[in-house]
Amino acid sequence: MTLQFSLGTTAPATVDTACVVVGVYEQGVLTSAAAQVDSACDGMIKRQVESGDISGKAGSSTLLFAPAGVAAKRVLVMGLGAQKSLDAARFQKVNIEAARALGRLPVTDAASYLTEVDVPGRDSAWRVRIAALASDHAAYRYTATFKPRDRSKQPELAALAFAAAADAQAGLDQAVAIAEGVRFARELANLPPNICNPAYIASQAQAFADTQDAVSCTVLDHVEMEQLGFGSLLAVARGSVNKPRLIALEYNGGNDGDKPYAFVGKGVTFDSGGISLKPGAGMEEMKFDMGGAAGVLGAFVAAVKMGLKLNLVCVVPSVENMPDGDSYRPSDVLTSLSGLTIEVLNTDAEGRLILCDALTWTAQKFQPQAMVDAATLTGACVIALGKHATGLMSKHDDLAAELLAAGEETLDRAWRLPLWDDYQAQLDSGFADVANIGGKSAGAITAGCFLSRFTDGQRWAHLDIAGTAWDDGRKGLATGRPVALLAQWLLDRAG
């Protein structure tokens, strides 16, 4: 079920809804909406604050059922933390927790007044957009389940209204489009690898293109790629019965002749490590190794749904990396589409081998004005930045600054790592132009350095989302990052 959003200006004490959401700061300070509700129900909120039942701690929630004097059947009081230090990240957290609390209630509709809370430096449209995206993220349920459905399931939240004037409508419209892209990415990445293989990703891209007049889709199979010289990508795919695909979506929202922006996303639908086999523990998470593909496809969906006035290309090289009698091996030397030769030192460093050919092809075919790739590329990036920040690498300071700013605006944040030539020597090979790994030190950076050799003359940036694309654990789900970051970057480019 897709959560439907709207704006409203009805007073919180009189709005007709199953649940109204208001906020209380620490030290018992009530927001304007909470004060109005409190006045209508004869001081019920203040009494619970004084008794300690409502703490105001950030993200905490207290439910008041059927308070007299209020039209809503329930009042959900959310803790906002200290008023003086409320910032964008805490605002997002409170809205996520509010949506989770609503999801535990037997309600189908609610009205949130958290969007009236003052966040320094942020306007109403931003607050509505962040609240809607946070709520949609919290309300997401993996629907392509293979478990029996619970027939006695309680009603689910289907409609959420935010308190805001009409000038916030643009923010809500953007949120709806970006949320659709995030759901597209999450659903694709969460699917099991026996369903979501390269052919399946291609079918989903084609299905989306078929519904959009301004979008076209091209899919190359292994025969066509072999004719073109995709020697590096095809080597990775050799060990699997699931044949590779190169998927290219084109959106013509700008002027004819305008150079497009380009996304390239790593689409390894399952990564066993190949001959350099991964440890068994945790290997089930390697269905998420196509998180880069899911992310750029989701960002593409968001851009199309927003109707951005620009041209955009989204390229996904998709393979499955498996051990087999025909698998590529450590010490193999591959000839990439660019003509550079690559010595394979580890078959588990496969993402860069499919990306290098895709980046070369994208640059040659589309001559983009800027190119950004996203990939669950290195465990080293997870060690460096954890699960909170995406690793960003670029030799173009202006492009890096644009992407960092987009991340700060959406709270889908990135952190820049150096891409200095000092690191390139770690990729030296005695048998080819370049080795596919650079040793155990600076692994995320040397992976970026490897890709940089295939982007000469291009305005290019690399996003390593190995830490941010999915949540840990056997029940961890795809996050949909970096859809919001990339969508904001395109919004900024479109003006």
Residues annotated as part of the active site: 278, 352
SS3 sequence, the chain? CCCEEEEECCCCCCCCCCCEEEEECHHHCECHHHHHHHHHCCCHHHHHHHHCCCCCCCCCEEEEECCCCCCCCEEEEEECCCCCCCCHHHHHHHHHHHHHHHHCCCCCEEEECHHHCCCCCCCHHHHHHHHHHHHHHHHCCCCCCCCCCCCCCCCCCCEEEEECCHHHHHHHHHHHHHHHHHHHHHHHHHCCCCCCCHHHHHHHHHHHHHCCCCEEEEEECHHHHHHHCCHHHHHHHCCCCCCCEEEEEEEECCCCCCCCEEEEECEEEEECCCCCCCCCCCHHHHHHHHHHHHHHHHHHHHHHHHCCCCEEEEEEEEEEECCCCCCCCCCCEEECCCCCEEECCCCCCCHHHHHHHHHHHHHHHHCCCEEEEEECCCHHHHHHHCCCCEEEEECCHHHHHHHHHHHHHHCCCEEECCCCHHHHHHHCCCCCCEECCCCCCCHHHHHHHHHHCCCCCCCEEEEECCCCCECCCCCCCECCCCHHHHHHHHHHHHC
Residue 136 token pair = 């949609």
Cβ atoms 392, 462 nearer than 8 A: yes
Q: Say if CB 13 and CB 71 are below 8 A apart.
A: yes
- Who contacts 49 (Cβ-Cβ below 8 Å, separation ≥6)? 24, 28, 30, 56
Phi, psi of 249 (to 5 degrees): -100, 135
